[in-house]
Structure 1
Amino acid sequence: MSPLVILFIGMAIVVGGVLALRLHAFLALLLGAVVVAGLTSTDQIVAARVAASSVAVVELRPDSEWLVRPGKGRALIAGTNFLIVDGKLTTDKVTLLVQGPDGERPALMRVHVHGAAPAIDPTRTAIIHETVRSAALKDGASSVGDRVASGLGKTATSIGIIIALAAIIGECLMRSGAADRIVWSIRRLLGDQRAPQGFVFSGFVLGIPVFFDTVFYLLLPLAKALRQRTGKHWVLYVLCTVAGATMAHSLVPPTPGPLMVATELGVSIGLMMIGGTIVGLVAATAGYAYAVWADRRWDVPPPDDQVEVVPTTDTDLSVLPPLWLALAPIVLPIALIGWAAVFDLLPDDLAKTWWGDQLLFWGGQLLFWGDKNIALGVSAVIALATFWWFRRLPLKELSAATQTALSSAGVIILITAAGGAFGLVLQQTGIAEVLTTMMPASKAALLPIAFLLTTTIRIAQGSATVAMITAVGIVAPLVAAGDLGYHPLYVALAIGSGSKPIPWMNDSGFWIIGKMSGFSEIQTLRTASAMMSLMGVVGLIVTMLGAWILPLV
């Protein structure tokens, strides 16, 4: 069956299940994943894995030397490799010796074919290592249940601990008074009228080293506390929290998506950070404008907010934690995770100087604490200790607060993991390759093409990062050919902007925003989804204007 048909069936089941049959999101996503997995043939599963993992042969050279193009997820491994012709796995194999990067084109690798080199057409041929080939065949032989469970488990492994710990941190920030302290400090600095702008900027800064989901979890209690103070503007506060964080997530390294795109296109990390910051802040400003409009149009109360809260001005600030302690559970993981990301970017030759050697040594000692799960764990301990110390509660009540946090986190983990399973089985249909063939390859329109390609893949499988990684693999050969008329930076920014439209039910972020904010599926679509789509389009417009006014070539 065509991957497009399978995609439409899966989308109909998820959307129809949630909106028409009123199924719980977890059940709708799980049902959609099972149906998609059942409709996908073994050949499609193997072909999708092979296409995602194969290494293209670029050029044949004398003396049995080949030039090949490895990439993200396409590891070049010495030893026995099988040939792929026209996208189909063959039984023909070669033994390769990796010789290193090509002198003129460092992105390409030189390999030597041991023994007699077969006669091949490099425009139609790729290679795949025997271990990866075996894994692809194993995927094809897996049952529907195993593949759905695998996708669910991988997603839960990635986000489960983070969501649980962040939920504990958020609950403690609210109950200990730490959120109140931060909110009152923001009010003193900006005033209530400018607090939404503060959320946009804070979310953007926090979204650079930390995943969007974690940033949203950390900032949402602050938005809720401010809502309790003002008694209004819940939609505005939520959308402003989303606006900054989501643009940084797709445009500014060291988050995985933009880091990968910049690397593949040969754009320096520093230039990508500057360009991503400019485009991201302009797009986030457009998101803020939409948030103001949406807040005036729709009045949605926060979850469990049955009674309108009357703002108070007589809070005794002396009973609240000091600002430095209130901020510690938020700032500490950002600093630790951010340092771990920066440390990976430090050049090895830094050790040639004394100060560089010391930086690498002492910085390396912090890498353990820079793991996202460890950093959030330390912050959760600080948040729990702050809650206990300033409220002087018995440990039984502390345990009850933790139970409340984990109860809400458990549902979100299940929904998010089911969305991951749905996205994985969609990828196994080969939908990315089908969508690629539908896109033209004109360099004159490469920026909007890269944007639309990324958007299409994002809509199909849900993950912004996966969409960016997939799209850059398709666009990179066009950029490598040169003669664009503008710097590859703009292609990277177009891909990042294209990962914003249109978040829906197969996106884990969609469910996190909706469930944590108390928005229904329809409300999430017309608020957060619409805003992110608008920001993506604005990002593309700014990128195209930059390529025209300041091509940097």
Structure 2
Amino acid sequence: MNDPLFILLVGVIIVVGGIIGLKLHPFLALLLGAFVVALLTPASVIEQMAIAKGTAPAAAAALAKKSIGERIATEFGNTCAKIGILIAMAAIIGKCMLESGAAERIIRSMLRLTGIGKAPVAFLVSSFFLGIPVFFDTVLFLMMPLAKAMTLRIGKNYLLLVLCIMAGAAMANSLVPPAPGPLFLVGEMNIPIGLMMVAGTIVGLFTITAGYFFALWANNKMPIPLRDSLDARLEDIQAIAAKDDKQLPPLGVSLLPVLIPLVFICIDTALDARATPGQTSSFFSLLQFLGDKNIAIVLGGVAALLLVVYQRKDQNKPEGLTPFVQAALMSGGGIILITAAGGAFGGMLQQTGISTRIADLTKDYQMALIPLAFLIAAVVRTAQGSATVALITASGILSGMANNASLSFHPVYIGLAIGCGSKLVPWMNDAGFWIICKLSNLTEQEALKTISPLLVVMGLAGLIVIMIGAQLFPLV
């Protein structure tokens, strides 16, 4: 009864069965799953897991004594702290870009550059390179309004565009520093960060190519239409799509809500990488302040709102922006609640000791290190939902083997295998799953049939590329 694998199985049955079988709202199903998982987890296990993560013994004991409600609320709040402001402001930015015509202007410019036929490829590559310096969820927030506007412009391929965005952002997040997971991995496994960036980009381009072909197949097999949503009604987007070029904002201005957060986050990332101890100049501190992801996206939101005000200057709308912003926040609020509930469920699973249990099962498994690394990361990701946790767990398990064994290839290949394995398998315990599901208006079943296999295909394609690369270019 106390085995983490049994608790995991129970949690999976409750969440998946509740949402698909009983038609429960995801927020309720995830909270119910978190409650049952927490109820089945002994206090002694919680204390041991906290100590294993570096928590002081007194704090670990205090955590174990907390009530189930407190522990769930804590993990719920931790997830809100990470994504709450981002989602709220991203909802405003997306609504503003659609309302002002900025998304339409960007789409028209992109079509002139690439043509309709290559638009999905442009989304794929853009999402990948945006995902290197910018958080995964931020890329989704910035790109989804463009996908909706593009779909109305070309009249088809909505699922293809959504999957291209997901494919690019997801692979960059787990393969290329300075994303948090790969950044921890290179430090744990003593891999040069420059080598990981180059190798991760190469492998990432192979994987997103495989993802693109899967997206083409899925789009043909089960085309999904663009649907009405509270923050982006189809009739409003269609009205904007019918506007003349002169009625739309200039391209440079249209890009500001996206470029402002992107530029400041990239600058902050570069400064962190080159920072020296004791560097406290006021200019450096200002850039760090502006480069904080929450501050940066708030600035993007301000730019987006000013853009709407500018575009409305000749219109008589005395109600101002309040109803407009409220509609965006109502949509974003639902995403925040579901995502935070998913974080609470994943946090309760982590407290069961599932990662340690998986490590014990695989420590004596005599398999080549590259597929072993992939397998461990994949199992941890599937079990508890976080790609970053999967990266950290797998790199911790394998760092000693990678550094001490007499390898015939560079440890970077093990790091890349961990990154690709961490993509398998996203489902309802993953906050990113809910973000893309709700932003795109896909149903849970549609997301499980498209997004989950997309990442499986890309992860397996990456494993194949990594094993071929280790054989042909061992780098030792």
Which category of TM-score, normalised to the shorter sequence, fits these structures?
Answer: over 0.9
Alignment of 1:482-497 (within 5 A): 482-497=405-420
Cα distance change of structure 1 residues 445 and 395 upon mapping to structure 2, 3 Å threshold = farther
Corresponding position of 2:351:
428
- How far the C-alpha of 1:240 sits from its partner, in A, is 0.8
Cα shift readout 1:415-473 (whole Å, capped 9, x = no counterpart) = 00001100111111111111111114567611111111011110111010111111111
Residue 301 (1) aligns with residue 218 (2): no
In structure 1, give the amino acid aligned to 2:105: R
State which of 168, 176, 185 in structure 2 corresponds to 1:261.
185
In structure 2, give the amino acid aligned to 1:322: P
The structure whose RCO (Cα within 8 Å, separation 6+) is larger is: 2
Corresponding position of 1:329:
257
Matched position secondary structure for 2:153: helix
Distance in 2 separating the partners of 1:281 and 1:380: 31
Moved more, 23-32 or 427-436: 427-436
Corresponding position of 1:451:
374
**Runs (5+) with no aligned partner, structure 1:** 54-130, 352-356
Corresponding position of 1:51:
52
- How far the C-alpha of 1:303 sits from its partner, in A, is 2.6
In structure 2, give the amino acid aligned to 1:20: G
Corresponding position of 1:461:
384
Matched position secondary structure for 1:228: helix
Matched position secondary structure for 2:319: helix
In structure 1, give the amino acid aligned to 2:386: S
Cα shift readout 1:226-251 (whole Å, capped 9, x = no counterpart) = 11111111111111111111110111
User: Whose radius of gyration is greater, 1 or 2?
Assistant: 1
Distance in 2 separating the partners of 1:174 and 1:287: 27
Distance in 2 separating the partners of 1:397 and 1:457: 48
Could you tell me whether the CA contact under 8 Å between 1:412 and 1:511 is conserved in 2?
A: yes
Matched position secondary structure for 1:300: coil
Distance in 2 separating the partners of 1:411 and 1:312: 26
Distance in 1 separating the partners of 2:306 and 2:145: 18
Which structure 1 residue ranges, 4+ long, deviate > 3 Å from structure 2?
A: 305-315, 360-365, 440-444
Distance in 1 separating the partners of 2:173 and 2:383: 19
Corresponding position of 2:300:
379
Could you tell me whether the CA contact under 8 Å between 1:280 and 1:539 is conserved in 2?
A: yes
Corresponding position of 2:9:
8
Q: CA RMSD in A?
A: 2.0
Distance in 2 separating the partners of 1:488 and 1:450: 11
- How far the C-alpha of 1:517 sits from its partner, in A, is 1.2
Distance in 1 separating the partners of 2:304 and 2:366: 52
Aligned residues: 469
TM-score of the pair, normalised by structure 1: 0.82
Cα shift readout 1:230-284 (whole Å, capped 9, x = no counterpart) = 1111111111111111110111111100111111111111111100100011100
> Relative to total residues, which structure has the larger helix share, 1 or 2?
2
Could you tell me whether the CA contact under 8 Å between 1:208 and 1:254 is conserved in 2?
A: yes
Could you tell me whether the CA contact under 8 Å between 2:101 and 2:240 is conserved in 1?
A: no
In structure 2, give the amino acid aligned to 1:422: F
Corresponding position of 2:143:
219
Alignment of 1:43-442 (within 5 A): 43-53=44-54, 132-304=56-228, 315-346=243-274, 348=276, 362-392=283-313, 393=315, 394=317, 396-441=319-364
- How far the C-alpha of 1:214 sits from its partner, in A, is 1.1
Cα shift readout 1:60-88 (whole Å, capped 9, x = no counterpart) = xxxxxxxxxxxxxxxxxxxxxxxxxxxxx
Distance in 1 separating the partners of 2:33 and 2:152: 38
Cα distance change of structure 1 residues 412 and 314 upon mapping to structure 2, 3 Å threshold = closer
**Runs (5+) with no aligned partner, structure 2:** none
> Relative to total residues, which structure has the larger strand share, 1 or 2?
1
Q: Percent identity?
A: 48
- How far the C-alpha of 1:51 sits from its partner, in A, is 2.0
TM-score of the pair, normalised by structure 2: 0.95
Corresponding position of 1:121:
none
Cα shift readout 1:481-520 (whole Å, capped 9, x = no counterpart) = 1311111111110010011111000001111111111211
Distance in 1 separating the partners of 2:329 and 2:175: 32
- How far the C-alpha of 1:311 sits from its partner, in A, is 11
Distance in 1 separating the partners of 2:69 and 2:388: 25
